[in-house]
């Protein structure tokens, strides 16, 4: 039998034990150790990890064998935060991981479509790579030489959840293999997952990370399971761990979740609606939302019935009060209890439906308050850290060109630099800060565009007093060339800022934390 070592970075994690086999009595098995790193292999005296399943930003899962009276497969989830986190962030991540165990323990046994929690365990292991201080003095001299001080033992902490294994594939894997879903399949997803969400919400919890990856179909029964109630995948740099554990996944998280405001049951309904749009169209959320208007434009990719289209449109409304209030209400609309014409919300502040009580996010309630990856992917999740060259160029073309043309038009027609600059700042700020974006990203775009125009006017000061439209073709050609320059400058500034945010800032923070 093979047992897989769960220590991160183990050079040879596969360990073979010929004396163990499937037919052997394993109820009283003795602890076994990794041949490469001496890590204990059997967790909680009964769980044998056998192979890795997946790796996330904050943890790794393994398929494992559960021993005792009846052997069965299970999933071991190991917490593995990045090394650059400070002590308060690590404490917040660990607290969230323990809270996931509490939520699964509270909900898993009570609903057939939520994995059952088998165990939560912590392992304290002396790192053998730093434990040479415990060997004999003569051996120590051989290793370190005369007069050198051997390092003291270093104890590492490992945290594990063990839960029910769902033998199947998640919905993202399904759509990648066979293409987009039909309308009947979308209805089936809703009819299976909405009762699970209603159960979760009735127990005063919000999942906060509904997405195709977290809905798994059992291959033998076709039943859909809702997984990953922890979703500890990102702690934003520069903010406390507690306030940063309020995210979701980029594209699937609604505006109130992205901005760190209170969340509602309709927060999960929004994410489920976006999940259905992805499954129905085969297009990622970023491709379905118009960046300029922040409106969904998915119907060009699919043509479902009017009823299903109206239901999905209402589920993904930006304002929580415009969405369905509960999962039960969506089910009622699906079943035909609600007329199609009554499904669409009344938008623009005229909806008199009272808002449900929000779920606080301070961790002092039993709401599920875990992070996720805003992990694909706040700023990095909304595209700030991702070095997507195509998206970066698209934003640079739109923002850089529009910003420069607005500035040159105001200078040309108003004829005064100071008034034109004031008008430009007001218009630019109004356009940027009225958009649905995290506040930090708004400042990022605003400052980038201000720097872009400042550089151009410093390089070509004559254009602050000349009217290019009075220069004929030559003036228009120069305006075109300067527009290209504005795009290139915007692209460069955005690229450098993203590189700094992704690579330099974490390094500086880690260096400062080590010095402190």
Contacts of 289 (CB under 8 A, 6+ apart): 251, 295, 296, 297
8 against 55, higher pLDDT: 8
- Dihedral-angle region of residue 153 (phi above 0 means left; psi in -120 to 50 means alpha; beta otherwise): beta
- The distance of Cα 462 from the centroid of its chain, to the nearest Å, equals 47
Give me the catalytic one of 19, 167, 209, 313: 209
- Give yes or no for residue 43 having a pLDDT over 80: yes
- The distance of Cα 302 from the centroid of its chain, to the nearest Å, equals 26
Which domains occur in the chain, in start order?
2-80+116-165 (no CATH), 189-343 (1.10.510.10), 389-515 (no CATH)
- Dihedral-angle region of residue 383 (phi above 0 means left; psi in -120 to 50 means alpha; beta otherwise): left
- According to DSSP, the residues that pair with 72 across neighbouring strands are 66
Contacts of 329 (CB under 8 A, 6+ apart): 338
The residue-averaged pLDDT of 81-86 equals 78
- The distance of Cα 314 from the centroid of its chain, to the nearest Å, equals 23
The residue-averaged pLDDT of 201-225 equals 92
pLDDT of res. 331? 96
Closest CA to 419 of 431, 407, 437: 407
CA atoms of 464 and 411, how far apart (whole Å): 6
The pair of structure tokens assigned to 492 is 């460069």
pLDDT of res. 242? 39
Number of neighbours of residue 204 by Cβ within 10 angstroms:
12
Can you tell me whether residue 269 is helix, strand or coil? helix
61 against 342, higher pLDDT: 61
- Give yes or no for residue 492 having a pLDDT over 80: yes
The residue-averaged pLDDT of 340-346 equals 73
Q: Which helix (H) or strand (E) holds 126?
A: strand 117-126
The pLDDT tens digits for 133-184 are 333 444 444 444 444 445 556 788 899 999 999 999 999 999 999 999 999 9
Instruction: Give whichever of 123-137, 179-193, 363-377 has the largest mean pLDDT.
Output: 179-193
In the chain, the percentage of residues whose pLDDT exceeds 70 is 72
Active site residue 170: no
Q: Confidence band (pLDDT; 50, 70, 90) for 312?
A: very high
* 32 to 39, 42, 68, 121, 414: CA distances (angstroms): 9, 7, 16, 17, 80
The pLDDT tens digits for 400-444 are 788 778 887 887 777 677 787 888 888 888 877 766 555 666 777
- Give yes or no for residue 280 having a pLDDT over 90: yes
In the chain, the percentage of residues whose pLDDT exceeds 90 is 34
Instruction: Give whichever of 76-90, 208-222, 328-342 has the largest mean pLDDT.
Output: 208-222
The residue-averaged pLDDT of 359-379 equals 38
The residue-averaged pLDDT of 486-511 equals 72
Can you tell me whether residue 123 is helix, strand or coil? strand
DSSP 382: T
Mean pLDDT, all residues of the chain: 77
Q: Sheet holding 59-66: strands in order across?
A: 47-55, 59-66, 72-79, 155-164, 117-126
pLDDT of res. 39? 93
The full length of the chain comes to 516
Contact assessment for residue 256 and residue 247, using Cβ atoms and an 8 Å cutoff? no
Contact assessment for residue 275 and residue 224, using Cβ atoms and an 8 Å cutoff? no
* 309 to 262, 266, 332: CA distances (angstroms): 27, 17, 15
Closest CA to 76 of 13, 37, 120: 120
CA atoms of 514 and 516, how far apart (whole Å): 5
The residue-averaged pLDDT of 247-256 equals 83
Instruction: Give whichever of 237-251, 340-354, 367-381, 457-471 has the largest mean pLDDT.
Output: 457-471
| Residue reference for tokens 């919300």 | 345
Q: Write phi, then psi, for 299 (nearest 5 degrees).
A: -70, -10
Closest CA to 343 of 321, 314, 303: 314
Contacts of 259 (CB under 8 A, 6+ apart): 438, 439
CA atoms of 118 and 104, how far apart (whole Å): 9
347 against 362, higher pLDDT: 347
Contact assessment for residue 212 and residue 285, using Cβ atoms and an 8 Å cutoff? no
């Amino acid at each position: 039998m093979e047992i897989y070592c769960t220590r991160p970075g183990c050079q040879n994690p596969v360990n073979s034990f010929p004396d163990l086999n499937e037919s052997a009595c394993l109820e009283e098995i003795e602890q076994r150790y990794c041949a490469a790193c001496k890590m204990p292999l059997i967790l909680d005296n009964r769980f044998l990890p056998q192979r890795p399943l997946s790796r996330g930003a904050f943890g790794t899962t393994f398929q494992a064998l559960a021993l005792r009276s009846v052997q069965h497969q299970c999933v071991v989830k190991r917490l593995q935060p990045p090394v650059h986190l400070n002590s308060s962030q690590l404490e917040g991540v660990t607290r969230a991981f323990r809270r996931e165990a509490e939520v699964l323990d509270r909900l898993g046994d009570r609903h057939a479509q939520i994995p059952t929690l088998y165990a939560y365990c912590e392992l304290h292991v002396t790192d053998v790579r730093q434990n040479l201080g415990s060997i004999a003095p003569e051996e120590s001299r051989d290793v370190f030489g005369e007069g050198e001080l051997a390092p003291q033992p270093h104890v590492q902490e490992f945290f594990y959840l063990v839960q029910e294994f769902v033998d199947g594939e998640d919905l993202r894997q399904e759509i990648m293999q066979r293409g987009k879903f039909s309308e009947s399949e979308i209805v089936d997803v809703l009819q299976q997952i909405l009762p699970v969400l209603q159960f979760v919400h009735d127990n005063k919890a919000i999942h906060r990370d509904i997405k195709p990856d977290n809905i798994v179909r059992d291959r033998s029964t076709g039943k859909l399971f809702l997984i990953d109630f922890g979703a500890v995948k990102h702690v934003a740099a520069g903010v406390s761990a507690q306030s940063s554990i309020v995210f979701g996944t980029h594209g699937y998280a609604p505006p109130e979740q992205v901005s760190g405001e209170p969340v509602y049951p309709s927060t999960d309904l929004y994410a489920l609606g976006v999940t259905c749009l992805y499954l129905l169209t085969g297009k990622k959320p970023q491709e379905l939302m118009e960046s300029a208007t922040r409106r969904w434009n998915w119907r060009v990719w699919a043509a479902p019935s009017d009823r299903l289209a109206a239901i999905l449109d209402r589920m993904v409304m930006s304002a929580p009060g415009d969405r369905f209030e509960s999962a039960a209400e969506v089910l009622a609309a699906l079943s035909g209890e609600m007329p199609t014409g009554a499904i669409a919300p009344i938008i623009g502040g005229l909806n008199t439906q009272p808002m449900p009580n929000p779920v606080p996010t301070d961790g002092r309630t039993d709401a599920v308050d875990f992070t996720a990856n805003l992990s694909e992917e706040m700023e990095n999740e909304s595209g700030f850290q991702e070095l997507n060259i195509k998206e970066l160029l698209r934003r640079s073309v739109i923002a850089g060109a529009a910003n420069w043309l607005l500035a040159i038009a105001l200078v040309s027609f108003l004829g005064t630099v100071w008034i034109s600059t004031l008008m430009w700042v007001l218009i630019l700020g109004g356009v940027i800060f009225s958009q649905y974006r995290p506040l930090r990203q708004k400042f990022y775009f605003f400052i980038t565009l201000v720097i872009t125009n400042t550089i151009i006017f410093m390089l070509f000061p004559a254009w602050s007093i000349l009217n290019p439209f009075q220069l004929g073709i030559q003036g228009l050609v120069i305006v075109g060339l300067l527009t290209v320059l504005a795009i290139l400058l915007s692209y460069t500034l955005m690229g450098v800022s993203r590189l700094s945010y992704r690579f330099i800032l974490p390094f500086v923070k880690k260096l400062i934390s080590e010095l402190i």
